[in-house]
Amino acid sequence: MDVVLLSRLQFAATTMFHFLFVPLTLGLSILVAWMETRYARTGDEVYLRMTKFWGKLFLINFAVGVVTGITLEFQFGTNWSQYSAYVGDIFGSLLAIEATAAFFLESTFIGIWIFGWKRLSAKAHAGVMWMVAIAGNASAIWILIANAWMQHPVGYTLRESFGGQRAEITDFMAVITQKFAWLTIMHTIAASIVLACFFVMGISAWHLLRKQHEEVFTRSFRMALVPGLIFSLFVAIQGDFHAVDVAHTQPAKMAAMEFHWETQPNAPSYLFAWPDPEAEKNSIEIGKIPGMLSFLIHHDFSTPVTGLKDIPKDERPPIALVGMAFRVMVGLGAYFIIACSIGWFFRKRLQEKTWYLKMMLWSIPLPYIATQAGWLVTEVGRQPWIVYGLMKTSDAVSPISTGQVATSLVAFIVVYGLLGLAGFTMIAKKAMKGPDLPEATETKA
């Protein structure tokens, strides 16, 4: 393995691990704020127990997410110094805003929320939790804007600097308002809410199957079911708009997602296919639907869709990985809609439907798999570019040795593995223990 591949593996391993915690932080903060608002408005102690229980799980998840995210920004200086020198004016400014504004606010309000139970009114305390949710999602928005610029660079110019070129911002508003960024933001945040809803419904199902804390977890399940169904549908519909934009801005990624080789009108889609990149065709094609790809992308059967054969071989992403990740993401997205629809039908008889509760318990990992698959489609599908059309990944690495990257990669895997084990163990123990008894909740309130 060379420095480029090892650096890519290191960044992929750390980012994907970090992204196990980010979506739950974004989605669960909103659900906890909603639960606490119900308590502030009604004074119902069940909502207070729900807020405290899910709030503790949120805090554990947030803490592990912060720790695993710190090293990511350092890697831009250690492993990707050429990239940092080339686009630091743009990428660095967006990360700086995220760190000094959104993340700072999120951390501050979390502190107020933890220590403010006896110092703030119920409504003010609920308001603080909403600020946590808003600041946390704002933090994600700035990160996603920075990532979207790598996917679709706009609002910049190239200037000579220190004997080479570097990208500099010429239109900040174009960078932060571009369509690609906001389609990505809506898709990611909506998917995070779905993940949090399945997390809440899965843990609630575990307790309902054991017939313990039934009032708390019946309400928790129903409160997660509504946004779970709404945002599962939203992710699917909005994902179609996002895919249309990807087809125009990154045709190579779309062609890889669909295993599409020939530029042609009436482009087909397949229920299942497997690519043979050497032969530049699919070795397996099952369930051909003529014209479906043209219709999905252009809303017209006759408009041609760019195929992989019209893209230079050295500018094609890893086709099999991108295409399969896309199918996993789409397939699980369909499952989430079906699972939530069934839950909506049985919402008043949840305790009677043990098969459904077991299904939702075992569904907890699925949104994690879907979000990881989505990350693979987005990031691997952009290759070989680190900044699409401007800078290739092979030109972005630092002038360091293979041994240095290999050593740090092993260290990251060991440390992150231990962190993950500790984090998920704490979350699992707290989740299985359940909420405090009403007397204990009152004492701590």
**What is the residue-wise DSSP string for 213-240?**
SHHHHHHHHHHHHHHHHHHHHHHHHHHH
Cα–Cα distance between 289 and 270 in angstroms, integer?
A: 6
pLDDT of residue 439: 59
Q: Determine the Cα–Cα distance for residues 98 and 101; give it in Å rounded to an integer.
A: 6
Give all strands (DSSP E) within 51-199, no chain letters. Answer: 156-161, 164-169
- Residue 410 to residue 279: CA distance in whole angstroms: 36
Q: Cis peptide before 384, with omega less than 30 degrees from 0?
A: yes
What are 284's strand-pairing partners? 274
Question: CA 31, CA 378: separation in Å to the nearest integer?
Answer: 27
Q: What residues pair up with 288 in beta bridges, in sequence order?
A: 270
Which of left, alpha, beta for 434 (phi over 0: left; psi -120 to 50: alpha)? left
Residue-level pLDDT at 445: 44
Q: How many CB atoms lie within 10 A of CB 126?
A: 23
Interatomic CA distance for residues 212 and 284, integer angstroms: 50
Question: How far is 162 from 383, CA to CA, in rounded Å?
Answer: 27
- DSSP alpha helices (H): ranges in 281-401? 292-298, 319-345, 354-362, 365-380
What are phi and psi for residue 62, nearest 5 degrees?
A: -60, -45
Name residue 233's amino acid.
Answer: L
Which parts of the chain sit beneath pLDDT 50?
A: 443-445
Single pTM value for the model: 0.91
Confidence at residue 416, expressed as pLDDT on a 0 to 100 scale:
85
Q: Residues with Cβ < 8 Å from 311, sequence gap 6 or more?
A: 251, 252, 255
Cα separation of 374 and 370, whole Å? 6
